[in-house]
Copies of this chain bind each other. A is one copy, B any other.
Amino acid sequence: MNERQALVSFGALSQQTRLQIVRMLVIAGPTGMPAGVIAESLEVSPSNVSFHLKELERAGLITQQRESRSIIYSADYEALGSLVRFLMEDCCGGHPEICAPAAAVAACCAPLAEGKCQ
């Protein structure tokens, strides 16, 4: 993740509908969600959701794949991970006090994989 990509990613996440889409897709997991279902869930018009999906794809935060008549969108976990990392390294650099709360989440996050947390 370079500065250019980070700027586009931050821009993509700075809009309510788009942030909500990312949230939904992360929760939805690898299965993803069709554009229409996303639009319905968020009560946004199809053309509007399409606009925002394109923006998120441009930022590389989500991917698409056609499945019959539907187009399924999924969160790109790797890209999201890279963004978190960029923010931590860039803003943390030499300043662990910024990282501290993140470290707490991370500490909880790893054990999650084995069902040890929450």
Contact = CB atoms under 8 A, between A and B. Distances in A.
Contacts of A110: 96, 99-100, 103
Overall SS of chain A's interface: helix
A38 B43 CA distance: 43
A82 interface: yes
A56 B8 CA distance: 17
A23 interface: yes
Q: Chain A interface: which size bin?
A: 35 or more
Q: Determine which residue in A3, A8, A88, A110 has the highest number of CB atoms from chain B within 10 A of its CB, and name it.
A: A88
Interface string A1-39: 001001110110111100100110011010000000000
A87 B87 contact: yes
